[in-house]
Amino acid sequence: MYQAQADRYETMVYNRCGNSGLLLPAVSLGFWHNFGDTACNETMKQLCFTAFDNGITHFDLANNYGPAPGSAESNLGRILREHFRGYRDELIISTKAGYDMWPGPYGDWGSRKYLLASLDQSLTRLGLDYVDIFYHHRMDPNTPLEETMGALAQAVTSGKALYVGLSNYDGETLEKAAAILESLHCPFIINQNSYSIFNRTIENNGLKEISARLKKGIIAFSPLAQGMLTNRYLNGIPADSRVKKDGRFLNESSLTEERLSQIRRLDALAAKRGQTLAEMALSWILRDGIVTSVLIGASKPSQILDNIKAVQNTRFTDEELREIDAIALA
């Protein structure tokens, strides 16, 4: 039986999520990749053990994570049941609904019908009575925002979620949604969006500034730009890389000579800071205190141990920030 390390809370940094009472680890574990039915059960267990042993209390999922859709939740449910039964109150489990999940008109987007049915299915797969955070996964241009936000509020009042979040929203829609959720007295505390040195969308669409003004947390996914902000591609594209195996999220055309040059220059700057490129990329996201947590993916425990080192040095000089911008935004 798994026994968590006694010193698991000694080195991780925990940040307040907006103005809520919830603290999240500066580094959270995402289940987008490597937890589906094609993954190794033993590796999945060791990833969860390593994360929790090092203070990562937040496991982030969605209904459609796999492959197959739903399998990441089912696999975590088994791990929780077999190994984490005594640690549920030390864990933050989040899930989402918003992308295509089952056939027909009721398995996608943002209707009350879909969101509440999906949450019930997620709880069954996870083997839980509630999740800590339930997100709407993407904006729905056709369903009234009031309906979608009302479904999130009902998830909380029914006791099936403690807090709610929004994912892949822009700043303008976020502000409208926040007003509705406030009127419903719904504990909306966090936004989940892609953010990295190479992807500044939440800065450009106003979401980062609006989240800070509204005192909502942000958790960043793809903080390493699908592996580009690691040492993986310093010498070109390895034959066994995800680019070669599966080009859905990062394809070979993205790794131009110009991009590879940027990666190498950023790596040199990271070395001057005494960090790896991945550590610096994560530290950069956490630098100003607006982002609550970064979501990392991992295929082996050593990657988790490497990435959590980022919390040790999140301070940047003005000159370092200017140099990163000059490289990444050129």
- pLDDT tens per residue across span 161-188: 999 999 999 999 999 999 999 999 999 9
Taking only the tens place, the pLDDT of each residue in 291-320 is 999 999 999 999 999 999 999 999 999 999
Instruction: Please state, in angstroms and rounded to a whole number, the distance separating the CA atoms of residues 146 and 111.
Output: 10
Phi and psi (nearest 5°) for 321?
-65, -40
Which range marks the domain in which residue 74 is found? 14-232+277-316
Is the pLDDT assigned to residue 249 strictly greater than 90? Answer: no
Helix spans in 38-183 (H): 41-53, 71-83, 112-126, 145-157, 171-183
Q: How far apart are CA 121 and CA 19, in angstroms?
A: 30
Report the number of distinct structural domains present in the chain: 1
pLDDT attached to residue 161: 99
What does the alpha-carbon distance between residue 243 and residue 296 come to, in Å, rounded to a whole number? 18
- 102-110: average pLDDT: 97
pTM for the structure as a whole: 0.95
Q: Looking at the domain assignment, is residue 327 inside a domain? A: no
Q: What is the mean pLDDT of residues 238-248?
A: 58
> 115-159, pLDDT tens digit by residue?
999 999 999 999 999 999 999 999 999 999 999 999 999 999 999
Question: Across-strand partners of 136?
Answer: 97, 166
330 located within any domain: no
The rounded percent of the chain whose pLDDT value lies above 70 is 95
Average pLDDT, the chain: 95
pLDDT at residue 250 is higher than 70: no
Q: CA 79, CA 314: separation in Å to the nearest integer? A: 32
Other C-beta atoms closer than 10 Å to the C-beta of 297 total 22
Q: Is residue 5 part of a domain?
A: no
239, pLDDT greater than 70:
no
Q: Which residue has 């800590």 as its token pair?
A: 132
Q: Give the CATH number for residue 285.
A: 3.20.20.100
Per-residue model confidence (pLDDT) at position 1: 85
Residue 322 lies inside a defined structural domain of this protein: no
Cβ count near 129 (within 10 Å): 9
Q: Does any domain span residue 172? A: yes
Q: 279 pLDDT exceeds 80?
A: yes
Say if 252 falls within a structural domain.
no
270 in a structural domain: no
Q: Residue 274 carries which DSSP code?
A: T
Is there a domain that residue 211 lies in?
yes
User: How many whole angstroms separate alpha carbon 282 and alpha carbon 232?
Assistant: 16
- Decide: 299 and 40 in contact? Cβ < 8 Å: no
